[in-house]
Amino acid sequence: MVLKAIDFFCGAGGMSYGLACSGVKIIAGIDCDPACKETYEHNNKPSRFLERDVAMLNPTELAAELGVKQNDNDLILVGCSPCQFWSKINTDKTKSKKGAFLLREFERFVEWFNPGFVVIENVPGLLTKKEQTILPQFKKFLELRHYSYAHDVVNANFYGFPQNRKRYLLIATRLFERIELPKGCQDKRLVVRNFLGVKNGFRRIKAGHKDRTPFLHSAARLFAENARRMRNTPQNGGTRLSWKDDPDLQVAAYVGRDKIFRDVYARMFWDKPAPTITIRFNSFSNGRFGHPTENRAISLREGATLQTFPKKYVFKASNELTIARQIGNAVPPAMAERIGHHLIYKRSVLKSAPTPFDFGTM
């Protein structure tokens, strides 16, 4: 049988799409954000999008709705819950506190379905902030349920896409005694030059350009002061330090503070991986999101491309802020595809072998 998955906290569908590319059948994506529905459904057919709050969802009702049974060795439950609370980025933690503990809600579904595989992907803080997270309890839960697991903080640049993006990854199974994470490898081709630029289908545009087509090669406008800063930032990796002594350009918050937030108001390098694509990647003032040579921040489609979404992937929303959030919050499909191939291979090895931790109906 083919491996199948339910994608909890699916967002715009990066994990679902990548797993499907590997050959995993996606049964449904679940998310409480209605803004993700159109994007998810358009790109992930025939998978269903369930607009539900996982905290209010009952496993028995979900099983009946999706036609999924308990104790299915070929079922993957994926939980990539909102991660702002554990992120290093300075966000309003009160707004994201509820999301920080969605892992506990996800645990209810793992307990009830008892799937063959469990996958967690999140920010490194889920592991490194051990005193604050519920990860230790979740790992203990897995052990009590006779799951073996592997987990670590990985550099996703080793998993097929052009970003220096650190992520926490956990893969668990009850089908055998030991599981490993997919092997990563460094690929020197995974740099900005091989994804952006005219030769890769991105024509030169100016700040403020609006692309009304589904391609969405749209760049945010720059206010006059930031436009001057951009023009004075050297191409191919330049930073705000190049104009720190110009009183007309220097940002008051950074006077005498050259060693902090050095990537703010900076350009990407052509021959290095991009920085982590965040939900504000289309803003020059929010990170190293300046185009290497053009005087603008990267466009929506360029950000999606650096997240390894194919150019045919259509993002649907009423405004650019929502689209940028969908892209920045997504699990990059290339990483998801690597995970899918890994699980398919592991399951295929065991198809004809006994499964000592398959307890059947509980």
If one counts every other C-beta atom within 10 angstroms of the C-beta of residue 308, the result is 26
C-alpha separations of 305 from 108, 162, 202, 310 in Å: 35, 9, 10, 7
**pLDDT at residue 91, rounded to an integer:** 47
- 32 tagged catalytic: no
Residue 357 pLDDT: 40
Please give the pLDDT value at position 93. Answer: 44
Amino acid 123: pLDDT: 85
pLDDT of residue 60: 97
CA-CA distance, 315 to 182, in Å (whole number)? Answer: 29
- pTM beyond cutoff 0.85: yes
- From the candidates 10, 36, 80, 83, which is the catalytic residue? 83
The sheet with strand 48-51 has its strands ordered as: 48-51, 25-31, 4-8, 75-79, 117-122, 166-173, 148-155
Q: For residue 163, give the DSSP letter.
A: B
Residue entry with tokens 């899918």: 340
pLDDT at 83: 56
Q: Domains of the chain, with CATH numbers? A: 4-181+332-350 (3.40.50.150)
pLDDT at residue 302, rounded to an integer: 98
Element (H, E) at 150: strand 148-155
Low-confidence stretches of the chain (pLDDT beneath 70) = 1, 83-100, 128-133, 351-362
SS3 171: strand
Q: What was the pLDDT predicted at 353?
A: 52
